[in-house]
Every structure is written in structure tokens, then in C-alpha cells.
Amino acid sequence: MSASKVRAPPKPRQPRENYITKVGQKKKKPEEVVVVEEAKPEPKLFEGQQWIDRGGFEMRRPDAIDTIRISSQHKDILIQTWQLMSVHMAESGTKIFLRIFELSPTVRDVFNYTTPGADPEDVANNPRLKYHALAFMQALDDAITNIDSLTTKVAPVFINLGKHHIHFPDLKGNYFDLFCGAMMYVFREDLGEAFNPDTRMAWSHMFDYLLQHMKFGWELAIEEQRARQASEK
């Protein structure tokens, strides 16, 4: 009698996940695996760009933004002194705009917040002016909060803020220089003895950085507007 063959034990069945096994129903196909491609990192702001494509129109971008680097020491000064300024943001913001109007009365007509020859007190209490001033100071507050991410978080915000100034058609480029001078005046007045040479230098660099990006955004918006107008012809 020949020796009986030894049968190998059956292989264990694989679990039938995602299948319907009820009688009379078709089996459900396993769920497809969706492969998500890793997002490519965004290029640095305007790095290597000589031309900007806007709706099929290529236009030369404004000159590269040239700002002074804000040192770690200056960042510490900005954070410390902003704690003093942020207590009265709305009031200080309004004072900045009033100082601009004092330096250049024609700018007040550009913003059209009051009628020509209006009393200064009426100008200061104009709701739209107060809203505009507070909005800028809140943007400045965000800039200080993100002071270690100036390129990635702060610069895009102020470029966009500058683009909104296209809604003031009579605005001129020197407005941004007036704005910087007015801010330095108000900060010196409000900070008092804390506005020492180091503080002055720190805020001078910060204002230069922010306003250069605002002006860039304003210039970019003008170019975009011209491109749209050209496409409609």
C-alpha cells in the first residue's frame, strides 16, 4: 500500500473588505486609491520675473522693491514700542491722516472724506476717515505680529492694500512719501522719550518696507487697469 500523500494546509483567505456578499447583489469594487501630487512650492515673490502675464497681456513689472533689511535688534524694538502704540491705534491712525492733510491739503480732496474748507474737527470725526485709519493700523498690527515672516505674510498683504488705492484716481506716487513722514511724526509724538535714535531707525526701516510694498501694489494695479482697458478696445 502506497503511502498517502500529505496535503498542504489551505492558505488563509484574505479579508474581503469593501465587498458586498449578500446573495443577489453584485460585488462592489475596491475603492480606488487617489494619488495626490505634492504641491510645488510657490516661487518667491516676483523672483526672476521680468514680465507679468495679466489676462493674456504681458506688461513690465515695476522696478524691484529695494528695502533696507530689518535686523533682529530692530525687530525687538518694534515689538516693544508697538505695545505702547497699539493701546490707542484708532486715535493714532486718525492723527496720521490729519498730519498728511496738514502737509498736503490736496490729498484730503483725493480721499474725498469731507467737503473743501471743512473744519479740522469735522475731518477728524468723519466715520469713513476713522475706518480707513483704523484699518491701516490693524494691518500694521498684523505686520508686527508676523515680523519674522515679512516676505511670506506681510509683503503680500501690503501689496494688496496698495492695490486698493487705485480707487482713488487722483492719487499721486508722492502720497506714500507723505504717509511715511506723517507716521514718523505721530510715532515720535506718541512715544515721547521712548522714541530714541534706535527706535527712530527701527520704525524708519519698517515704514520704508511697508510703504514700498504698498506703492508697488498701487503701481501694479494701475498696470492691470491699463491692460484691461487695452483689451476692451
Q: Is the pLDDT confidence value at 171 over 60? A: yes
Q: Indicate whether this model's pTM tops 0.85.
A: no
DSSP one-letter string for 110-144: HHT-S-TT--HHHHHT-HHHHHHHHHHHHHHHHHH
More confidently predicted of 226 and 92: 92
More confidently predicted of 19 and 213: 213
Confidence of residue 123 (pLDDT cuts 50, 70, 90): confident
- Give me the amino acid identity at 101: F
Look at the block and give the residue holding cell 475603492.
Answer: 31
Confidence of residue 86 (pLDDT cuts 50, 70, 90): very high
So where are the chain's domains? 77-231
pLDDT given for residue 105 in this prediction? 81
HEC sequence for 204-219 = HHHHHHHHHHHHHHHH
Look at the block and give the residue holding cell 507723505.
Answer: 178
Contact 84, 191 (CB under 8 A): yes
Q: Is the pLDDT confidence value at 99 over 50? A: yes
Residue 95's nearest CA partner among 185, 196, 206, 217 is 185
Reported as a single tens digit per residue, the pLDDT across 2-56 is 444 555 555 555 544 443 444 444 444 445 544 444 444 433 334 334 334 434 3
pLDDT given for residue 125 in this prediction? 84
CA 219 to the chain's CA centroid: 16
Mean pLDDT within 118-122: 67
Reported as a single tens digit per residue, the pLDDT across 48-79 is 343 344 343 344 444 457 677 899 999 999 99
Contact 70, 202 (CB under 8 A): yes
pLDDT given for residue 73 in this prediction? 97
Q: Which fold has domain 77-231?
A: Globin-like (1.10.490)
Half-sphere exposure of residue 49, counting CA atoms within 13 Å on the CB side?
16
Under DSSP, the state recorded for 153 is I
Q: Is the pLDDT confidence value at 185 over 90? A: yes
pLDDT given for residue 23 in this prediction? 44
